[in-house]
Amino acid sequence: MRDVIAAVATGKTPCAIGILRLSGEGCAGVAQQVFSLDSGISLTEAPNRKLLLGKLRDRQGRVIDHAMAVVCRAPHSYTGEDTVELQCHGSPAMLAAGLEALFAAGARQALPGEFTKRAFLNGQLDLTQAEAVVDLIDAETADAAANAAGQLGGALRKRIDPIYNDLTDLCSHFHAVLDYPDEDIEDFGAEELAGTLRRAESALTEMLSTFERGRHLKQGVKAVLLGRPNAGKSSLLNALAGFERVIVTEIAGTTRDTVEEPVRIGRVLLRLTDTAGIREANDRIEALGVARSEAAAKEADLAIFVCDASEPLNDEDLRAMEAAKQAPKRLAVLNKSDLEQCVGEEDLPFDTVISLSAKSGDNLDALKDVLERWFADGALCDGSILTNARQFGAITRAAEAIGRAQAALRGGMTPDAVLTDAEEAMQALGEVTGRTVREDITNRIFERFCVGK
pLDDT for residue 4 is more than 80:
yes
pLDDT for residue 90 is more than 50:
yes
Tens of pLDDT, residue by residue over 13-38, are: 899 999 999 999 999 999 999 999 99
**Dist CA 63 CA 72 (whole Å):** 24
pLDDT for residue 316 is more than 80:
yes
**Residue 278 — very low, low, confident or very high, per pLDDT cuts 50/70/90?**
low
**Residue 453 — very low, low, confident or very high, per pLDDT cuts 50/70/90?**
confident
Backbone angles phi, psi at 74, to 5 degrees: -60, 145
Tens of pLDDT, residue by residue over 151-193, are: 999 999 999 999 999 988 887 766 655 544 544 445 556 677 8
Q: Give the pLDDT mean for 33-56.
A: 96
